[in-house]
Amino acid sequence: MWRACSDSLPMLKKLVQKTIVSSPLCASCLQAPEDVLHALWGCKNLLQVWSSEFKELATANHQFCSFADLFGVLIKNQSNLEWFATTCWMIWNRRSKVRMQQPVIHLDRLSSSARDYLSEFQKLRPKAAN
C-alpha cells in the first residue's frame, strides 16, 4: 500500500516519460493513461471487483486526485482496509501475470478470491496478546 500511495509503482504513464514504452494507455481498457489510481481502482474493467464492497464509492462521480486520496477516504470512513489492500495486491499480481502471459483469475472472481485469501490469512496469523 505504501508504494501505491507514494506513487512509486512502475506504471505505463511513468514508463512513457522515461521512454521505456510508447503508449501510456491502460492495456485493459485502452481508454485512459495507466497510473496507480487507474490501474488499481479507476479502470472501468475493475468496477465489478470494487462494487461488491464499495459500490457507492466505486459508482459515484467522486474524482480522486491520487491513490493516496482514495486510501485516505477509505481510512476516514473506516472501510474494510484489509480486504481493500488484499484486493489491490491481487489486482496488481493479476496485472503482472497478464503482462507475462501467465494464467490469471477472471475479474468476476477476484473479489471473492481476495476475501477467501484474507480469511485464510486471518485464520493462520497468531492472535495478539491482550
Convert the pLDDT of each residue in 97-119 to its tens digit: 998 999 999 999 999 999 999 99
Whole-angstrom distance, CA of residue 64 vs CA of residue 70: 6
Whole-angstrom distance, CA of residue 42 vs CA of residue 61: 11
Q: What's the gap between Cα 129 and its chain centre?
A: 32
CA gyration radius for the chain?
A: 15
Q: Let me know if 56 is exposed, middle or buried by CB neighbors in 10 A (0-12, 13-18, 19+).
A: exposed
Domain residue ranges of the chain, discontinuous segments joined by +: 2-124
Whole-angstrom distance, CA of residue 110 vs CA of residue 53: 12
pTM: predicted TM-score of the whole model, two decimal places: 0.86
* Res. 24 pLDDT band, cuts 50 70 90: confident
